[in-house]
Chains A and B, each alone.
Chain A
Amino acid sequence: MNFTMVRRLILKDWYLQRLPIALSLLGGVAAMAVLVLGGKAGFTLGLILLVTVLVASSAISTTNLTVLERKEQTLPFVMSLPISFREYTAAKLIVILVVFLIPWSVAMGASFAVLALSPTHSQGLIPYVAIMGSEMLMSTCFIAAVGLITESQGWTITAVMIGNVAINGIGYWVAHIEGVSQYMFGPVMRWTPAAGALLFAEYASIALMLGGTFLVQSRKKDFL
């Protein structure tokens, strides 16, 4: 694996996506301001805004980074560079993750900080926020996997929609699981085995999806 080329590809995509990245950071900062400064109501509102920004930006940037190369017919140019599909896939996965993880980790960190430090909020929410935050990461990986493997705008948009539905569905379902719902609105943070298992399952899925994408891409025989 040629890491120099991977780095150059990442920088290329970073440059080309600089506008959407900047906008999502701006939206994220605005949402966080509401979350941190708006009191109890602001926390909920800010959280919703944050989720919206994260979901929207991950959908847009992931679609841009995967499907667009084929649609804009820049794939022959990229593949004429001294790389194989391994470098191409690695670079794309890394960029997609980085573009998502930067606002995501700041948002998660800010949310945890607010929940942990502010007296008006219930620390019991922390596991739930962790689980749902990880769900968004999982959703992003899912969209990235579909986008890279299918290279089809149709399938990727479907994946985005599935991700959207999932976050609501899973959000509702997790909130009603015994191990989570019991302590969610309590003042103390409690990690139950159920919550732990959920978190583990999410990260295991993420690893599987990333690894699986890489495997499928390396096996691809025709790039054009």
Chain B
Amino acid sequence: MNDVESHNDLAVHFEGVGKRYHHFALEKINLELPTGSIMGFIGPNGAGKSTTIRILMGLLHQDAGAVRVLGRNMPDEQAAAKMDIGFVSEDMRLYGAAPLRWHMEFVRSIYPRWDQPYAEELLRRFDLKPEQKIKGLSHGQRVKAALLLALARRPRLLVLDEPTTGLDPVARHEVLAELMAVLADEQRTILFSSHNTLDVEQISDQITFIDRGRIIDSDDKEIFLDRWRRLRLQLPPDGAVPKLPGVIEVGGSGRLPVLTTNRFEPAMVYACNELGATVQAVDTMTLEEIFVANVQRKRTQEEREEVTV
């Protein structure tokens, strides 16, 4: 199987990627994003989301590891790769003195797949006036303008760094709708980073958690939602908290512990009952709760490792 074939189904492939800065290091980043899916990239501030995304775009060179985007090596083949990638980041600005229409003409002159009717439709949906100068737009309008320029080219891969941050709920809804419309074509892929776990939970197929420069978890969204649970137990007067595999956290009070697990199976309920603890409730967890618990789990683990070293 030649190189192109083996990576044909992965739009993005990071293998052992690392980048070192003075006060921060990205390490052992492994990422696999299949064509046609959408991945949400979640992490606290400073976790390395933007750094990872810039390495993906070839804007930063990795110190270690291999990066392939749409079958091309980054950063060496970045010019060719960027022909098919639409990029919008939170710290990106358009030229304030020029109108939106100039930007549209400029982008259109570069990309053959520019879809003018779609661009006009987006202008309507996003409620943007092309004659307006960028500096006269509000923050939300600027984000939508940048998204329009990326979407109208119909790129094979959309890379978005915080696309809905700072948008009002209506604008957020519009943007999510357009992102989902992209996925109607199963040859197109989206990677987006966000703080907004609701957005990620709603539209992502895969979710990757990153914290302190490392990937702490990456899987199908439905698997996350299936495997993470909070079990509310009631112990008998002299009972002990049952020792179950995959329990990350034990909260609650003495006789009413709450176990957080990331490897839930129905048999656990059975097991708890066998060990004398009554299961009062099995709660699902929102992505936000999973995110926080996951980060805390990893940090506790790292602290323990530091102590033993």
Contacts and interface: CB of A to CB of B under 8 A. Distances in A.
Interface string A76-103: 1101111110010000000000000000
Interface stretch (A8-16, A44-52, A155-163, A193-201): A8-16
A86 to B, nearest CB: 9
Given A15-B102, A72-B93, A76-B91, A82 B60 contact: no
Given A76-B59, A224-B54, A82 B83 contact: yes
Contacts of A84: 58, 78-79
A43 B4 CA distance: 68
B79 A87 contact: yes
A74 B110 contact: no
Interface string A1-34: 0100100100010011000000000000000000
Interface string A209-224: 0000000000001111
A74 B94 contact: yes
Contacts of A74: 92-95
B24 interface: no
Contacts of A80: 57, 82, 85-87, 92
Given A73-B92, A81-B110, A82-B82, A224 B60 contact: yes
Contacts of A222: 59-61
Interface string B283-301: 0000000000000000000
Q: Is the interface of A mostly helix, strand, loop or mixed?
A: loop
Interface residues of A, number: 22
B73 interface: no
Residue among A72, A80, A221, A224 having the largest count of chain B Cβ atoms under 10 Å: A80
Nearest to B161: A76
Given A5-B110, A224-B59, A82 B80 contact: yes
B109 interface: yes
B106 interface: yes
**What 8 A-B pairs are tightest by C-beta distance, nearest first?**
A221-B61, A80-B87, A76-B92, A73-B93, A82-B83, A82-B82, A223-B59, A84-B79
Interface of B: 54, 57-61, 78-80, 82-83, 85-87, 89, 91-98, 102, 106, 109-110, 146
8 contacts: A2-B79, A72-B93, A76-B87, A76-B92, A77-B94, A79-B59, A87-B79, A224-B54
Interface of A: 2, 5, 8, 12, 15-16, 72-74, 76-77, 79-84, 87, 221-224
